[in-house]
Amino acid sequence: MVLPPIAVVAVFIGFPVGAAIAYTLGKIAVPNSTVALFAQRQHVAHHGVTTGAYREVLGNPHVRTDLWATIEVTLIAVVIVVALSWGIALYLRLSDNWISRVLSALAVIPLFIPVVIASYAILTFYAATGFMKTVAYHLGWHSFPTLGYTLTAVVIGEVWVNVPFGVLMMASGLNSVPNALIEAARDSGASLPRTVRSVLLPMNVIPTVIVATFTGIYVLGSFTVPYLTGPSAPNLMGVSMSNFFSSFNQPQQAEVMAMIVFVLAVGIGTIYVWANVRSAKRASSIT
C-alpha cells in the first residue's frame, strides 16, 4: 500500500537529487549529459569521483560571504518569527476583546498577499525614495537609514512571509492547553509570567519547534524576497545559485551550492525529527 507514494517520491525527488549529487562529483554521463554540453568551468571525473567543484565553490570568497549572509539572515528571521508568533498567539490565548480579534485577522493577512507584491511593498516603504524615508525627511530626520536593497529588507520580507504560519501554529498549540491547567496555576498563586513559563511553554514545545524549523528551511531556500529586496552582494544562496546557473553558465557550481543548502536544511530538519521523537517517547512513558 505504501509502494505508490514511495515510487512517486523516488521518481520525482530521489532520482533528480541523485543525478544532481552525481553531477557535483563530476559524473557527466546520462542523465547529466545535456546540461554538461553547455556548462563552463566544469569538473569532470574520468575515473571515480572528484570534489573539484566543491573545492572551487567553497574556496570562492564571494560564495562564502553569501553563505554566511544566508545563515545570518536565517537565524535572525527564525528568532524574530518565533518571538512575534509567540507574542501574538499568547495575547490571543489570554485575551478576548476587539483588539485580539483585529490582531488575529491582521496576523494572517500576509497569507493572501503574493510574495512578489509584498516584496515590492517593502521597497515602496523602505527604499531611498520610499514612504518611511519621505516621512522622516519631512519630520526633520534627514539621516533615516535606507533599508531597501539591504539584508535588513530581506529579513523584513522573510518575517512578513513566515509570521502568519507561525501565528497559526502557535495559536493552535496554545488553544489546545486546557483552561483548567491555567486556572489551577493561577489559583495556586502563580503569576502570569510563571504560568506561561511553567504551563504554556512546556506544552507548546512541538509547535515552537515546527515554526522554527519550517521557517529556517524556507528562508534557506528562498529566492523571491532576497532577489527583489536584497543587495547585489552579499545575497542569499538562492539568488547566488540562480546567478551561477543562468548568468555565469556554471550549473555544476550552482548544484554544489544547492547541496550545501540541502545539508543545512537536513540539519534543521533533524531538530524537528528529534523533537517529535522525544515528544512521542514522553507520551508513551506517561501512558
Write phi, then psi, for 147 (nearest 5 degrees). -100, -15
What is the average pLDDT across 198-211?
90
Q: Tell which residue, 90, 86, 120, 92, has the closest CA to residue 105.
A: 92
- Written as nine digits, the cell of 157 is 520580507
The residue type of 77 is A
Q: Is the distance from CB of 163 to CB of 111 less than 8 angstroms?
A: no
CA distance 147 to 127: 6
Structural domains of the chain, with CATH: 1-50 (no CATH), 61-177+205-286 (1.10.3720.10)
| pLDDT tens digits for range 80-125 | 999 999 999 999 998 888 888 898 888 989 989 999 999 999 999 9
pLDDT at 157: 95
- Written as nine digits, the cell of 38 is 553547455
| pLDDT tens digits for range 215-239 | 999 999 999 999 999 998 899 999 9
Percent of the chain exceeding pLDDT 70 equals: 98
CA distance 11 to 253: 24
Mean pLDDT value across the chain: 90
pLDDT at 286: 59
What is the average pLDDT across 160-168?
94
Prediction pTM value: 0.90
Q: Is the distance from CB of 64 to CB of 58 less than 8 angstroms?
A: yes
CA distance 238 to 240: 5
